[in-house]
Amino acid sequence: MILPLIESAHMWATFAVIALAIVLFSMDRIPIELSAIGTVTILVVLFQVFPLTSSDGKHVVDTTTLLAGFANPILFAILSLLIIGQGLFQTGAVEKPAQMISSLSAFGPKLALAGTLIVAGAISAFLNNTPVVVIFIPIIAALATRIGMTAAHVLMPLSFITILGGMTTLIGSSANLVATAVAESFGAPPVGFFDFFVPGVMLASIGGLYVIFVLPRLISPAPGMAERVADHSGKQFIAEVTLGRDHPWLGAESMGGFFPRLENITVRLVQRGERALLPPFDDTILRMGDIVIIAATRDVLAEAVSGGETEIGISGGEARDEDTLKSDGVRRRQLTMAEAVVSPGSRLIGMSIERAHLHADTDCVVLGIERRSRMMRSTMSEIALEAGDVLLMLGEPECVARLGRNRDLLLLARTAVELPLVHHAKRALAVFGLTVAAVASGMVPITVAALTGAVAMVVLGCLTVRQAARAFDRRIYLLVGAAFAMAIPLQATGGAQFIAHGVVSLVGGYGPAALLSALFLLTAIFTNFLSNHATAALFAPIAVSAAREIGADPAPFVYALIFALNCSFATPIAYQTNLMVMGPGHYKFKDFMIAGGPLILLLWLAYSVFAPFYYDL
C-alpha cells in the first residue's frame, strides 16, 4: 500500500524534481530541450532505483508510463496544427486579409491600428499566434510610424492581444489542448471546441481594451525601432519591368507626376522604344512594350514575384516578356530570394548584368540592384556593376545556396527568405477551414483532424516536407512530453491531491468561488516562470482534485486553468511571441512586469467576479 501523503518519500522526491525543472526552465543559459530531457531522465532513474509499488507489488510508475507522454495523441495534434499554420504562412494566405485591414488607415491611422490588433487577436483564436505575429509585425509597425508612435508602443500589444485571442477556443493555444487532455485523463469531462468561448471572449475583450488604450501609455518608447521593424530590408532596389501582353500595369496613368496604381513603387524611367521618359511624368499612360525602371523594397519585389501584383515581368535585363522564370515553370516551385554583394576584385565589375551572364552561370535571376552612392535612371542593360553593389537574387533554394561558393559575389545568407507560394493560398485556406470545421463540429477527434490537415498541406503542395519538418518544433515536443512525465508521478504519489488539499484548506472554507479564484491566480503566477505547457500538465490534476474535494463540477476549474495559462504577460520567457518582440522593441525584463502584471490582475479579478454568476457556483 502506498504510504500516507505526508510520509511519502516518493511524493517529496517528485516535488524536488519539479522544483528543479522550474528552475532549469527559467534559466536562459541552459537550452530548454536539455532541461526537458534531463528532467525526464531524472524521473526515469528515480523510479527505477526506488520503485513505487502498489499493494500487489506492481510498479505504479515505470519507464513506460513516464515516456507515454511522448506518444500522447494531443501532442501530435499540437505539432500538426503548427504544420497547418506554417502552410498558411508559407502560402501567404493570411497576408492579404491583413493588408486589407491596414487599408483602414484611410479612415484614420489610430482606427487602423486598433482594427489591426483586433483582427490579429481574432485570427489567433483559430491559428497558432507565432505566424500571426510574424505577419502583422511590419503592418502594425508601419501604422505606428504614421501616427507618431514607435514600434515599442505597438509590438508588445500585438503579442499580448494574440495571446488573449488564443484563450477563446480549444485550438487557440497548444496549452489549452495540453490542459484539457491531462484533465480528461484524470476524470474531467471532455471539453468541446467552443465550451469556454463566452467567458473567453469576455476576458479577451477586457484585456483587449487594456492592450489598446492603456498598455501603450505604460511602455517606454524605443526610438528608431519602427523603421527597423517595419521593413526588414528598407533598401530601395532598382528593378526592370517589361510590360508584355496582359500585364496588370497596362493602362496605368500618371497623376501629379506619379503613378497612383503602382503602390509603394517609384517609377524612375519609362523606356518606350528609343525614347526615354523621365519623371515627373505628365499624362503618361503605360503601354505594352514599355520597359519600366522602378525603385522598390525587396518586400514589394517579393510580392511581385509571388504573383501578387506584377505577374513577374521583372527580369533584370536577362529576359523579356515571356520571362525565363515564367516559361520554365520555376514560379510554380519553391523560390528563395537573397541579397548578394559584388565583391572587390570581382570579374563582374564594369559589366552590365546582361553581359555578366549571371543567370546562365548561377541559375538565379537578378531582380534588382541597390547602390547607395547615387540614384540610377538607366535600364538594367546599361548599368555597369561596381564593387559593393547589392544584387537581389531569385532562384531555387539550392541555386541560391550555391551563390555562397561564388567568388564574384558575397552571399548575405541572413537575407535569404523563401517566397510565399501564393498560388496555393486557396488550397491552404481550404485545408485550414475544413480542419477547424471538423474539430468544431465534433465529427472527428482533434488529433485525427489535425494530422489529416497537416498531411494535406504537404500533399497539396502548400508545404514541402522540409518546410513541414521545420514547423515541427522539437522544443515543444520535448517540453510537452516532459510535462506529461512530471504530471504522472505527481498524481500517482498523491502530490496533486496533497497540493489540492492544501489549497482547499486555505480557501475552501470560503466556497467554490474563492477556490476557483485562488487556482486562477496561482496558475497565472506559475505560467509566467514555467512553460505554459508544463504548467498545464502540472496544474490540471490539481484543478480536478480540488473540485472533487469540495464536490464541485470540475469544468469551471479546468476553464479557469486554461484562462490562467494564457496569462503569459509578466515575463518575456512566458511565451514565444513575447521573446519575438523583445529584441525589436528593445524591451527589458521589467517592461513586461510593468505592462503585463496589471493585465494579469485585471483578468484574474474579472474571472473571479464573472465565473460564480455564470457557472452558478
User: From the DSSP assignment, how many helices (H) and strands (E) are in the chain?
Assistant: 27, 10
Check residue 102 and give its pLDDT: 57
Q: What average pLDDT does range 158-186 have in this prediction?
A: 87
- In the sheet that holds 336-342, the strands lie side by side as 275-277, 266-272, 291-296, 237-242, 365-370, 390-395, 336-342, 409-418
> Has residue 433 got a pLDDT over 70?
yes
Check residue 410 and give its pLDDT: 83
Q: pLDDT band at 305, cuts 50/70/90?
A: low
Q: pLDDT band at 416, cuts 50/70/90?
A: low
> Has residue 603 got a pLDDT over 90?
yes
Residues 261 and 252: their CA atoms lie apart, in Å, by 6
Could you report how far apart the first and last alpha carbons of the chain are, in Å?
36
Check residue 145 and give its pLDDT: 64
Smallest CA-to-CA distance from 239 within 278, 273, 277, 265 is with: 265
> Has residue 380 got a pLDDT over 90?
no
φ/ψ bin of 123: left (φ > 0), alpha (ψ from -120 to 50), beta (otherwise): alpha
Q: What average pLDDT does range 207-229 have in this prediction?
A: 71
Check residue 418 and give its pLDDT: 65
Answer whether the bond into residue 445 is a cis peptide, omega within 30°.
Answer: no
Rounded to 5°, the CA angle 313-316-321 comes to: 35
Domains, the chain, ordered by start: 74-232+424-473+488-617 (no CATH), 245-320+336-418 (3.30.70.1450)
C-beta of residue 604 within 8 angstroms of C-beta of residue 514: no
Does 525 or 304 have the greater pLDDT score? 525
Q: What average pLDDT does range 191-216 have in this prediction?
A: 91
Q: What average pLDDT does range 537-550 have in this prediction?
A: 83
Check residue 202 and give its pLDDT: 95
> Has residue 373 got a pLDDT over 70?
no
Check residue 577 and give its pLDDT: 78
Check residue 315 and give its pLDDT: 40
Spatial neighbors of 74 by CB under 8 A, at least 6 apart, are 177, 178, 180, 181, 446, 447
Residues 504 and 512: their CA atoms lie apart, in Å, by 9
Residue 414, Cβ neighbours under 10 Å: how many? Answer: 9
Residues 555 and 559: their CA atoms lie apart, in Å, by 6
Q: What average pLDDT does range 19-40 have in this prediction?
A: 79
Check residue 601 and give its pLDDT: 96
Please give the mean pLDDT across all residues of the chain: 77
> Has residue 282 got a pLDDT over 90?
no
> Has residue 321 got a pLDDT over 50?
no
- 3-class secondary-structure state, position 293: strand
Spatial neighbors of 274 by CB under 8 A, at least 6 apart, are none
The pTM of the full predicted model, rounded to 2 decimals, is 0.60
Question: Dihedral sign, CA of 529, 534, 537, 538?
Answer: negative
Check residue 394 and give its pLDDT: 79
Q: pLDDT band at 447, cuts 50/70/90?
A: confident
Q: What average pLDDT does range 234-241 have in this prediction?
A: 73
- 3-class secondary-structure state, position 233: coil
Q: What average pLDDT does range 502-516 have in this prediction?
A: 80
Residues 213 and 152: their CA atoms lie apart, in Å, by 15
Q: pLDDT band at 325, cuts 50/70/90?
A: very low
Residues 496 and 546: their CA atoms lie apart, in Å, by 9
Check residue 379 and give its pLDDT: 66
- Grid cell, residue 164, equals 488573449
Residues 373 and 26: their CA atoms lie apart, in Å, by 48
Torsion, CA 537, CA 542, CA 547, CA 550, rounded to 10? 170
Check residue 246 and give its pLDDT: 74
Note the pLDDT tens digit of each residue in 92-137.
Answer: 776 666 566 656 655 666 777 888 888 889 888 887 776 677 667 7
C-beta of residue 369 within 8 angstroms of C-beta of residue 351: no
- DSSP label at residue 255: B
Q: What average pLDDT does range 349-373 have in this prediction?
A: 78
Note the pLDDT tens digit of each residue in 50-70.
Answer: 888 777 777 788 888 888 878
- Grid cell, residue 399, equals 541555386
Q: Rg of the Cα trace of the chain?
A: 28
> Has residue 318 got a pLDDT over 60?
no
Query: Quick one: the chain helix, strand, coil %, rounded to 5?
Result: 60, 10, 30
**Percent of the residues in the chain that have a pLDDT greater than 90, as a whole number:** 11
Q: Which amino acid is at 519?
A: L
The Cα-based distances of 502 to 8, 121, 142, 508, 565 in angstroms read 16, 37, 51, 9, 21
Note the pLDDT tens digit of each residue in 343-354.
Answer: 887 888 888 877
Does 311 or 486 have the greater pLDDT score? 486
Check residue 116 and give its pLDDT: 84
The 10 Å CB-count burial string (b at 16+, else e) for 251-286 is ebebeeeebeebeebebbbbbeeeeebebebeebeb
